[in-house]
Structure 1
Amino acid sequence: MYLVFFLHILLDRFLVVHTCPSFCTCSNGTSGTAELRWVQCGDPRISTVPANVPADTVRLRLEKTGVTRVPRAAFFNLSELLFLWLAYNAIAWIHPSSFVNLRALRELRLDGNGLTAFPWEGLRDTPRLRTLGLHNNRLASLPAHAALFLLNVTYLDLSSNRLTALSAELLDLWFPIPGREERSVPRRILGLHDNPWWCDCRLSLMVSLSTSPASPVVLTDRTLTCKGSPTGTRAPFPRCARPSVRPSATRVVSLRGSNVILRCHATGYPTPTLTWVKTSKRADCCGRDVPGGGEEVPRNLESSLQGSPRVGVRWSLISLDDLASKDAGEYRCRARNMAGISEAPVKLTVVGVTRISGRPPKKSQRTPLKKPKRTRMTLSLAPPPYQKKLSIYN
């Protein structure tokens, strides 16, 4: 019984590896001395992703078929796959786990489909992906979190979609500010043309930056058109404005054990983001450095609150509770947008409460003044010598 079951498993594996899917052609290419298996499926009668593609396939082309959906783990058995071309089908939906186990994949092309959304988080299963083609789909937005999964992609084609704006996270990925990135920045090729972009200074600045010979980005077509407002009116791209920062106070003195709030606000276009950084540490009012064993600086302060009352303006504050000597030092409010970075320092001094040693002196006791003794005075009312006795006559 077990032998029959084992033979059945071996037969299934043999069929999976060596059988070519229906309506597909399989061939062996060469790369040096190694033979590579290529599979091409281009029949409109194919309505689902073939499940019996040979496991040693390195190139799979599924083009001009009737496939509309890519299910979960659709290519799980193809761990050696390097090139996956799913262009010019009718694909309208892709499961976020469709590309699981494709850790060797280098190129993914989905041009000419009907995608209105793309599962960017699914690219975490393809760490070696370098080329991603999404030309001629119906993508209307490019979310900020997409930047987390495009770190290693060096060719990205988003042309001929319905995109209207780019997020600041993507622009930071493609145009990192010098001095902020420790790792080397790869050179990228971007296709962004033929989209109804809104009139945003991000695009104008990106186009101008891409013209530099040292630019990390090369645009396949620089003729990006601005559709203006959502109504479609054309207008020139506005200019970006570098942020300007102003703190509510540049010097703050507070008692040890008290609470203090540091606040700043910034203006700029696009609306800048604000972060707080502690750049130095002080021990007391006299500016002496804390001895060894203190905290490391500079360091970013995560517990900040910020808001944007209107476009181009942002405020931020941090609350420091139960102040200690280690909290003293210089804090910098840092504003950042695509046009640049600006900072404003706030110096915080923490002073202690002076205590009196020993027992306080006793209050001096005053000796009450003795009241003078009262002396009894007798008054003699003797008649004056000139007083005459009066007689009354009847």
Structure 2
Amino acid sequence: MYLLVLVHILQSSLLAVQSCPASCACTYGNSGAAELRLVQCSDPGIAVVPINVPADTVKLRLEKTLISRVPRAAFYNLSQLQFLSLAYNSITSVHPSSFVNLKALRELRLDGNLLTSFPWEGLRDMPRLQTLCLHNNRLSSLPAHAALFLHNITYLDLSSNRLTILPAELLDLWFPLPGQLGPAQRRILGLHDNPWLCDCQISMVMSLSMSLGSPVVLMDQLLMCSRSLGQSGMLLTQAELSRCMRPSVQPAATRVISPLGSNVILRCDATGYPTPTLTWIKTSGYADCCQQHILENSEQLPRNLESFMQESPRVGVRWSIISLNGLSYKDAGEYRCQARNMAGISEAPIKLKVVGISRLSRLPKKKPQKTPPKSLSKSRKPNQNPSTIDTPSVKENQIFQNITPKDPDAKRQAQTPIRSTPESSDNSTTALLLETLMKYNEDGQGQ
């Protein structure tokens, strides 16, 4: 019984792989020694994306149908798909997760639909995608974050839409400034047939694309622009465009001194046209007395910092701040605020010094101090520890040793140590010594 169920499951899976959806045509095409599955669905009655497309499909065309939306994970089982065309349908929305698991896809076409926006973040699910066609839609804007997902795209067609401006982030991607790491990737862009505003960005795109060795090639050099929305267009070459302005950077402070463990905010402002973008770079580490203590754990410098915030209160102006909490000597060094736009690049340094004690130093050993002998005073308490009672000084002991009394009683007195009592005065030791000497002399004279 178990074997029969297993055979049934295998047969169902095999039929699902080999079967072709209704109203679609499935064929095999040769590519070298391999045969590739090709599926084409162009029936005007199709209103949803088919879910039973064979899993080994390499090329899929869903064109000229009534499909209006592309749902989540619509092509999840097509992990071998390399070409996908959804052109000339009635698509108005595409879910950000529509292209999950399309890791082999190289070309995506959405020409001739009704898209007013595109889920650019969905390009992360297609790491090998190189061709993206959005020709003849209703796109009215390109968000700045689109530049994060277009690094691998070498063919981008945005023609025949309603685009008016290009964000500076896209211009930095397409026209990298000299000195940036890595060679510039060559791209083909379709920007024609859009109502571009006559501004610096679009004029720079044209002039740079026509320069020798440009990384960007325009499909059509005859771009139209208008002075304001709703006005009739004119050729970009005939318009008098505002000039681009290289960024100017002004830091809030060029030198900051802050104590160890404190919090500090570094800020800089930039102006330019187009509105510049700001980045922070740490170019050097701590260069003072304690550098040797952090060399082993120091990071590779220079390096770009990612945790910062920036805003643009108006066109041509942008500010940025970076917050450093719980300062350590590792945070000290030189930071550079770098501003860039199509016209150039500028930067300003900010030096941060961290002051404080990084480690406890050994205290110097105290030299033993010779305490002079103290005489007991009358104020000493009767119950004081006898170990603290003063004894005769060395000089006084020498005087006793040099005396040789003739009278045995005097000799006994001389050999008896003199001890101070709590009731004796400060000069009691000296008084007893004089008294003994006088008695000794009297006894000698009497004999």
Name the TM-score class by shorter chain: 0.7 to 0.9
Which deviates the most, 323-332 or 261-270? 323-332
Counterpart for residue 216 of structure 1: 215
1:200-234 CA deviation, whole Å, 9 max, x = no partner?
31111111111123111111012222223234365
Q: Percent identity?
A: 68
CA distance in 2, matches of 1:258, 1:94: 48
Could you list the runs of 5+ residues in structure 1 that have no partner in the other structure? 360-394
> Displacement of 1:264 after TM fit?
3.5
Q: Mark the CA change 1:10 to 1:294 in structure 2 (over 3 Å): closer, same or farther.
A: closer
Counterpart for residue 265 of structure 1: 269
CA distance in 1, matches of 2:260, 2:48: 69
CA distance in 1, matches of 2:273, 2:12: 61
Q: How does 1:1-394 map to 2 (within 5 A)?
A: 1-182=1-182, 184-232=183-231, 236-251=240-255, 262-284=266-288, 290-291=291-292, 292-293=295-296, 295-296=298-299, 297-302=301-306, 304=308, 306-318=310-322, 329-348=333-352
> Displacement of 1:258 after TM fit?
7.3
> Displacement of 1:141 after TM fit?
1.9
> Displacement of 1:168 after TM fit?
2.0
**Could you say which structure has the higher helix fraction?**
2
1:17-71 CA deviation, whole Å, 9 max, x = no partner?
2222222222221111211221222121222222222222211111111222222
CA distance in 1, matches of 2:59, 2:279: 46
Which deviates the most, 78-87 or 331-340? 331-340
Secondary structure at the aligned position of 1:277 is classed as: strand
Work out whether residues 283 and 326 of structure 1, in 8 Å CA contact, stay in contact via their aligned partners in 2.
no
> Displacement of 1:131 after TM fit?
0.9
Structure whose CA Rg is larger? 2
> Displacement of 1:2 after TM fit?
3.8
Secondary structure at the aligned position of 1:181 is classed as: coil
Work out whether residues 286 and 329 of structure 2, in 8 Å CA contact, stay in contact via their aligned partners in 1.
yes
The number of residue pairs the alignment matches comes to 353
> Displacement of 1:12 after TM fit?
2.4
Work out whether residues 226 and 237 of structure 1, in 8 Å CA contact, stay in contact via their aligned partners in 2.
no
> Displacement of 1:125 after TM fit?
1.6
Output the amino acid matched with 1:204.
S
User: CA RMSD, aligned part only?
Assistant: 3.0
With structure 2 as the length reference, what TM-score do the two structures score?
0.70
Q: Mark the CA change 1:351 to 1:270 in structure 2 (over 3 Å): closer, same or farther.
A: same
Secondary structure at the aligned position of 2:224 is classed as: coil
Work out whether residues 264 and 315 of structure 1, in 8 Å CA contact, stay in contact via their aligned partners in 2.
yes
Work out whether residues 226 and 236 of structure 1, in 8 Å CA contact, stay in contact via their aligned partners in 2.
no
1:66-115 CA deviation, whole Å, 9 max, x = no partner?
22222222222222211111111112222222222211111111111111
CA distance in 1, matches of 2:48, 2:266: 59
Work out whether residues 104 and 128 of structure 1, in 8 Å CA contact, stay in contact via their aligned partners in 2.
yes
> Displacement of 1:260 after TM fit?
6.3
